[in-house]
């Protein structure tokens, strides 16, 4: 049985296969109208969500299945009456797949240790693999073959999306440059960087962390940013974080430093005037709503892959 905890659960070949399936599903959804017939997806969210919540439910329904959104706040788990392992052991007797959005990645690992069905990471503080599946699909659509392309991420380096971008770009033979403030609370985790560098060595591509935003953006094919105030960040930290991250805001000057025709990406939700200016996110280079749509197509491919492996 397979799970999707982080992109590195898969080999680059499997990642490519799933991306190709996602493109096929997107091109001909009718051909997959019964691909998950009568399959039940159990969804559990400890944090807010628009895209993940809605794209998983619409996605499984469009393939003939059904989704249950489980409210943690009214559950025995949320009330401290039932353990996470017991909850997952029970759910595994009913559902065919589980998607979980959690604070602690260790809780996802505990779910995987106790489940009888595949578990998908719908975001933890450590990684967000479903987002990056959608992003790689989007980059392929706009820029063609991923190999040799350069992605520049600006902003919060110590971040789930940044970590999964490091994994995904390195696996797909892309160069990745992260522009972020210096300091362990702003830079990617050292073990993620080491994994990315090892994966990139196979392709001879670069993995760079720098505090020079314009250097990171220079000639990039993709400029990507994410919230400076992720769901788990204390709102009291807003002013201090804005001061730290403002030099990494994506502006028209940054986009003009990137390659001609570069695309702008943000996993959303976005805050105009913070991680990017309104003119960038609402401008002609922005592909943020293609990214949002592709969450559904990419996740449908992920679900079909995991269902096909769930009895092995």
- In this structure, what DSSP letter does residue 259 have? -
Q: Does 115 bind ligand NVA (CB under 6 A)?
A: no
Selected from 1, 31, 37, 50, the binder of ligand CP by CB under 6 A is 50
Q: Does 111 bind ligand NVA (CB under 6 A)?
A: no
Q: Which of 3, 128, 140, 297 is catalytic?
A: 128
Selected from 195, 225, 227, 257, the binder of ligand NVA by CB under 6 A is 227
Q: Does 124 bind ligand NVA (CB under 6 A)?
A: no
226 is catalytic: yes
Nearer to ligand NVA by Cβ, of 26 and 105: the residue is 105
Task: Name the residue with the smallest CB distance to ligand CP.
Answer: 52
Instruction: Give the whole-angstrom CA distance, residue 165 versus residue 128.
Output: 9
128 is catalytic: yes
Instruction: Give the whole-angstrom CA distance, residue 301 versus residue 26.
Output: 9
Q: Does 103 bind ligand NVA (CB under 6 A)?
A: no
276 is catalytic: no
Instruction: Give the whole-angstrom CA distance, residue 213 versus residue 216.
Output: 5
- Alpha-helical runs (H) found in the chain: 12-27, 51-62, 84-92, 105-114, 129-143, 160-171, 190-203, 213-217, 238-245, 252-257, 278-281, 288-309
169 is catalytic: no
Q: Does 51 bind ligand CP (CB under 6 A)?
A: yes
Q: How far is CA 40 from the centre of its chain?
A: 22
Instruction: Give the whole-angstrom CA distance, residue 190 versus residue 186.
Output: 12
Selected from 21, 172, 254, 267, the binder of ligand NVA by CB under 6 A is 267
Residues marked as catalytic: 101, 128, 131, 226, 267, 295
């Amino acid at each position: 049985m397979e799970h999707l905890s982080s992109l590195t659960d898969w080999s680059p070949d499997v990642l490519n296969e799933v991306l190709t399936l996602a493109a096929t599903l997107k091109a001909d959804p009718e051909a997959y109208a019964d691909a998950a017939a009568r399959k039940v997806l159990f969804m559990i969210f400890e944090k807010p969500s628009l895209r993940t919540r809605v794209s998983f439910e619409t996605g499984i329904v469009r393939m003939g299945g059904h989704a249950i959104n489980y409210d943690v706040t009214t559950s025995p788990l949320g009330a401290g009456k039932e353990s996470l392992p017991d909850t997952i052991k029970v759910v595994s007797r009913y559902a065919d797949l589980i998607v979980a959005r959690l604070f602690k990645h260790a809780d996802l690992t505990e779910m995987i240790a106790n489940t009888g069905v595949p578990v998908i990471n719908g975001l933890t503080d450590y990684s967000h693999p479903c987002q990056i599946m959608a992003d790689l699909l989007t980059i392929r659509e706009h820029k063609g073959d991923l190999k040799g392309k350069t992605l520049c991420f600006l902003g919060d380096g110590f971040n789930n999306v940044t970590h999964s971008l490091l994994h995904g770009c390195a696996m797909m033979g892309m160069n990745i440059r992260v522009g972020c403030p210096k300091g362990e609370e702003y830079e990617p985790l050292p073990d993620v960087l080491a994994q990315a560098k090892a994966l990139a060595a196979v392709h001879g591509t670069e993995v760079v962390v720098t505090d020079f935003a314009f250097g990171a953006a220079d000639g990039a094919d993709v400029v990507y940013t994410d919230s400076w105030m992720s769901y788990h960040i204390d709102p009291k930290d807003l002013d201090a974080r804005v001061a730290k991250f403002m030099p990494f805001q994506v502006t028209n000057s940054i986009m003009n430093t990137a390659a001609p025709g570069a695309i702008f990406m943000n996993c959303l939700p976005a805050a105009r005037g913070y991680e990017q200016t309104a003119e960038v996110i609402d401008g002609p280079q922005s592909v943020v709503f293609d990214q949002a749509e592709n969450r559904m197509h990419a996740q449908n491919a992920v679900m079909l892959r995991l269902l096909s492996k769930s009895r092995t």
